[in-house]
Amino acid sequence: MSKFKHRFKIAEQADSCLVYTCDENTAQIDFVSKSCVRIAIYKNKAEMLPTFSVNPNNEFSANGRNRLSTDGFELYSPEKNISSSIHTFALADNIKIKLSPDNFILKYYQNDSLLFSDRAPLAYNFEHEFGSETYHYISRTENERIFGLGDKGGELNKAGRAFRIETTDCMGYDASESDPLYKHIPFYICENTVGCYGIFYDTSDTSYMDFGKEINNYYPPYKYFKTNDNCLVYYVFFGTKLSILQQFAGLCGKQAFPPKWSFDYCASTMAYTDAPESQKRMYEFISKLKECNLSCGGFYLSSGYTSIGNQRYVFNWNKEKFPDAEKFISDFSDKGIEIIPNIKPAFLDNHPMYKEIADKALFVKNPDGTPFVTEFWDGLGSYLDFTNPKAFAFWKEKVKETLLDYGITATWNDNNEFDVKDCDALAAGFNGSEVQASRIRPILTYLMVAASYQAQTENNPKLRPFLSTRSGGIAVRRYAQTWSGDNRTAFPDLRYCHYIGLTMSLSGLYFYGHDLGGFHGEMPSRELLLRWLQHGIFEPRLTIHSWNSDGSATMPWSYPDILDSVHSLFAQRKQLLPYIYNCAYNAAEREIPMNAPPFLYYDDEELYAYPDTMMLGRDILIAFVFDEGREKICTYLPKGDDWYMGDKLLEGGRIAELTIPSDAEMPYFIRSGCILPTDEAPYGFKPDEKIVFTVYPLKNGSFESEFFCDNGNSFEYLKNNCTHLKFKVHCDESTVSVAFENTGNTILEPDIRLCSGDTRKLIIKQ
């Protein structure tokens, strides 16, 4: 057999699966659902690493899942037409797949137009034609748009660029171009003139994605994926951008539903825990909250609480800084503020527990069994090997013993990029087979987060845990929220972090946020801090966090002369919390992102010219100011819906002009045909709640709306011990009629009002 020529023949065939072989190569097609297909290319004797990303049953396994498993899939039997030259498969929604057995070239059609295809004459690296790594080349069309890949920087549209798929600790990164950042998510959505498709490459190995940066005269335009993995397993999704995202997210398991307190302002700063009298500084924080009349749901406790000298030692409490940690935690909890302690998966080589852990062989190791040592936080250290069941159990024990038993209910899983690239470093692996640690870095992160989650659920089985993780693959969505990491204090980074956040959301990480104000650099200016807050109040994670170069702490009261503006923005967040929490429920249960660019929902070309906008749920549209010294902006209202701004109803498909001073509350547009729940009780240090349901009606027609709430912190909602209101609204020229029922077990009599400016009669039926 000559290279570049590979004739595949069917070796096995079933309703939803076909297996082809050619010499030592196997190619397998699984029809995962009516709109998703999985392709696997591998050598016959290759041993595949398990997947921890694909998990439709949402079940934990310390050994992961066979990458070719179909457990939990719907499976679909397409119409097949198999001839000697072309094999054709018909899926739903007029999707056809045509396979040429020569070199196993796949072409995908939508409504008989070519959506995309493998690159001919050869798309896969069957016999090292393209070198030693594993490749997949596919077609690229002019003006296609690409979204996803996790926390990638730059514009929302990634077309024409190239990216490394791996994780790194990139403190002070440039949000416009630094790469890689913290996440490993080789999933993207591509939109072209024919339609949309999504591709997810199921691998934990370091990879590379080129969306058209490379050009080769011998081939038509292409893009490609390259990985260090020894096989290629990838999923192709069809549908709208939203349905593709939802299919991918569902394939990977449900996003954990965070407790309600985590959507309030959660504070943090390196300065407080790096200070000599940290506990005193923390109590001063509570006093300042009271003085400024600000509410707070949590405090991210930076790693300075673990210090010995100038270094940080996970699971160690510095008794000089925190002489009575349990009382400190209890006092904060009594004020409704949960402590979220920073924990890191590496132990410095002079850590008090290092020898004990090394003697038990719980670290990632060298071939001779000694701990693998690498750079970590001002010293040398070793990473815990979470594929080792004893190390997994050790972590759980220490999380409980040093944190949860003190009254803590949350964890901040940080610095967990597992910066191990040496091919000699070994992990215990899965089912008794050692593996290069460099190949499973995002899996190690996932297992760390899973161990923390299990410790928390075992310690407080009735409480929904709260976890935050900086790094990881898509699997971490099942346990934790995330953020964009150690960003910079600069106006350009504000804009590009907006894009990074939406990119994470378009990659299945719905619960995210940023270090508002910027983490690394000088204290933000008044204007920059306010612009960050104007943005942050509409995102899931509302946290100011800093490590300013002058040692100062960025806090809500950093500038006393703008405190009234900060207070107003926090009050606006509190007013929206019932809606935000309802959006969180929809994200966890229905895969509807909390934040998304409007083009995820609207087929409207004009939207791409206005990237500085964002949807909060399906009913709120916000336009932001990201440029220093600017107040006036223009934004675009999507076609297909009308939009309320205050008491004015504006038609979709038009440009709206806004003036947004940096010290003002944020204006936003509300979609007609919705009911918006808001909290109208006064805002303050210990706020009450008074939910009001405001109807934003259509000019004519009917619509439905739903509202969820529960006790905010338990799993009781899974037993229907919650409020679940279902509204049906009919609008005509003279009346707006609202009927509702509560299908949950918790009684709530809704206070329903009609939006200001609408003079029709409101009729309420139960």
SS3 for 7-20 is: ECEEEEEECCEEEE
The whole-angstrom distance between residue 661's C-alpha and the CA centroid of its chain comes to 30
Burial class from Cβ neighbours inside 10 Å (0-12, 13-18, 19+) for residue 477 reads buried
Q: Which pLDDT value is given to residue 315?
A: 98
Tokens of 745: 């077990």
Q: Which pLDDT value is given to residue 378?
A: 87
| CA gap 160, 612 in Å, rounded | 21
Whole-Å CA distances, 507 to 18, 500, 513: 29, 10, 14
Residue 492 or 687, more confident: 492
| 766 — pLDDT class (breaks 50, 70, 90) | confident
Interval 165-197: pLDDT, tens: 999 999 999 999 999 999 999 999 999 999 999
Three-state DSSP class for 659? strand
The whole-angstrom distance between residue 378's C-alpha and the CA centroid of its chain comes to 29
pLDDT over threshold 80, residue 515: yes
What's at 556, amino acid-wise?
Answer: P
Three-state DSSP class for 67? coil
- Whether this model's pTM surpasses 0.85: yes
Q: Which pLDDT value is given to residue 4?
A: 86
Tell me the average pLDDT across 749-762: 96
CB atoms near residue 164 (< 10 Å):
15
Q: Which pLDDT value is given to residue 45?
A: 82
| CA gap 464, 468 in Å, rounded | 13
CA torsion sign, 663 to 293 to 265 to 174? positive
Whole-Å CA distances, 285 to 21, 536, 760: 66, 21, 49
pLDDT over threshold 90, residue 333: yes
Q: Which pLDDT value is given to residue 2?
A: 65
Task: Show the CA angle centred on residue 423, arms to residues 419 and 427, nearest 5°.
Answer: 70
Q: Which pLDDT value is given to residue 26?
A: 97
| CA gap 243, 247 in Å, rounded | 6
pLDDT over threshold 80, residue 1: no
Interval 687-723: pLDDT, tens: 899 999 999 999 999 999 999 999 999 999 999 999 9
Interval 291-308: pLDDT, tens: 999 999 999 999 999 999
| CA gap 693, 742 in Å, rounded | 14
Tell me the average pLDDT across 391-411: 98
Helices (H), 506-557: 526-536
Interval 52-88: pLDDT, tens: 999 999 999 999 999 999 999 999 999 999 988 999 9
| CA gap 341, 53 in Å, rounded | 26
Interval 340-390: pLDDT, tens: 999 999 999 999 999 999 999 999 999 999 999 999 988 999 999 999 999
pLDDT over threshold 80, residue 50: yes
Interval 450-468: pLDDT, tens: 999 999 999 999 999 999 9
Q: Secondary structure of 232-269 in the HEC alphabet?
A: EEEEEEECCHHHHHHHHHHHCCCCCCCCHHHHCCEEEC
| 3 — pLDDT class (breaks 50, 70, 90) | confident
| CA gap 760, 754 in Å, rounded | 9
Mean pLDDT of the chain: 97
Whole-Å CA distances, 363 to 268, 369, 471: 30, 9, 19
| CA gap 362, 385 in Å, rounded | 6
| 647 — pLDDT class (breaks 50, 70, 90) | confident
| CA gap 245, 259 in Å, rounded | 24
Residue 650 CB-half CA count within 13 A: 20
